[in-house]
């Protein structure tokens, strides 16, 4: 009996130690983050606690440089809107979407103008200057809005700048309108800008979490765990809009009330990677090709990994302390 007990203790110790060693041997996951983005959400939801691998966040001011970092393999995974993801694929990036989150009801993208602007509709943009980032979701919104109003991209002049520079150009009169996204929309509106048109009916409002092919091969356990944590965090945001808005306020410097209006009127939901979503992104890619933004037609179907559709099922990777506890007789 004593021998059996000693054997159990020995096996439990071996299992515990092997679990800890396995967790410690997991490579760090390098995550690309935009201001008020993934990192903020995960921290606020408590999903960065007891993670059995290091998460190294890198900050980017917009989707374009984030996509470039993914393309260069400088990061493993990052979040992009439809249009920036198409642009990244068009640059030859070996990327795969591993998770898609749909944001319903959010004023996340908009074309804004100064409060005293004489422009009151998209048709008024003819002959005007629109500042945005080339290949960004703001750029895509402008193209869609122009088409809906019966205009072409040649009817306006695009001024291609990052958000940090775009805002000052609009305020100084160097552009007539700014096509952008959160948190820049919230900042501009709070400071008196006016919404000319929002993207709620023009865009899919999907957020694509894309990983490099190398990361999927070398860090699948970490990516699967990260997708689960992200989905749990979005569920938390749906259930705790006040806390989420407070966390956003601490990062952006805007009032809690500014973020609260958006948080209370937004529902985040993870959606499966399926044929319909891929076809929708193909339509985005085709529009970019028609506009001459991409030099060739981009086939987007290769940029998805459906095996992660099931990543939400099952537990998170165990932290070393949890493995230790489970190994006790």
**pLDDT at residue number 173:** 94
pLDDT at 204: 86
CATH number at 171 reads 3.40.190.10
Q: pLDDT tens, 88-103?
A: 888 888 999 999 999 8
pLDDT for 92: 82
Instruction: Please state the domain count of the chain.
Output: 2
Amino acid 295: pLDDT: 81
Spans of the chain, pLDDT less than 50: 1-2, 4-22, 322-329
- Listed in sequence order, the residues at least 6 apart from 226 whose beta carbon sits closer than 8 Å to its beta carbon are 29, 31, 55, 77
pLDDT value at position 313? 66
From 164, 198, 232, give the residue that closes a domain: 198
Instruction: Say if residue 165 is in the same domain as residue 98.
Output: no
Distance between CA atoms of residues 41 and 183, nearest Å: 13
How many Å apart are CA 7 and CA 74, to the nearest integer? 47
Tell me which of 154, 172, 198 is where a domain ends.
198
- pLDDT at position 244, please? 95
Q: What distance in Å separates the CA atoms of residue 235 and residue 228, rounded to the nearest whole number?
A: 11
Residue 150 near residue 126 (C-beta atoms within 8 A): no
Q: What is the pTM of this model?
A: 0.79
Same domain? 269 vs 298? yes
């Amino acid at each position: 009996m004593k021998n059996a007990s000693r054997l159990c203790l020995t096996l439990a110790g071996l299992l515990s130690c092997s679990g800890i060693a396995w967790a410690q041997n997991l490579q760090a996951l390098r995550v690309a983050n935009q201001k008020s983005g993934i990192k903020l959400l995960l921290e606020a939801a408590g999903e960065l606690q007891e993670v059995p691998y290091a998460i190294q966040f890198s900050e980017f001011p917009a989707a374009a440089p984030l996509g470039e970092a993914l393309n260069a393999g400088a990061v493993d995974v990052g979040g992009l809107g439809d249009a920036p993801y198409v642009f990244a694929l068009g640059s030859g990036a070996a990327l795969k979407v591993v998770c898609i989150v749909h944001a319903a009801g959010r004023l996340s993208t908009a074309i804004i103008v100064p409060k005293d602007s004489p422009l009151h509709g998209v048709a008024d943009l003819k002959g005007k200057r629109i500042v945005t980032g080339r290949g960004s979701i703001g750029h895509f919104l402008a193209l869609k809005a122009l088409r809906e109003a019966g205009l072409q991209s040649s009817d306006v002049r695009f001024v291609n700048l990052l958000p940090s520079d775009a805002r000052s150009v609009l305020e100084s009169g160097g552009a007539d309108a700014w096509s952008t996204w959160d948190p820049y929309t919230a900042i501009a509106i709070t400071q008196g800008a006016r919404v000319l048109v929002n993207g709620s009916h023009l865009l899919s409002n999907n957020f694509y979490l894309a990983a490099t092919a190398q990361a999927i091969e070398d860090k699948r356990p970490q990516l699967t765990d990260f997708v689960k944590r992200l989905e749990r965090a979005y569920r938390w945001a749906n259930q705790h809009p006040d806390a989420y808005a407070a966390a956003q306020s601490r990062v952006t410097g805007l009032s809690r009330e500014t973020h609260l209006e958006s948080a209370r009127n937004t529902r985040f939901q993870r959606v499966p990677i399926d044929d319909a979503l891929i076809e929708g992104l193909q339509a985005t890619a085709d529009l970019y090709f028609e506009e001459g933004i991409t030099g060739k037609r981009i086939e987007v179907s290769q940029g998805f990994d459906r095996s992660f559709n099931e990543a939400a099922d099952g537990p998170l990777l165990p932290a070393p302390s949890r493995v230790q506890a489970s190994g006790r007789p």
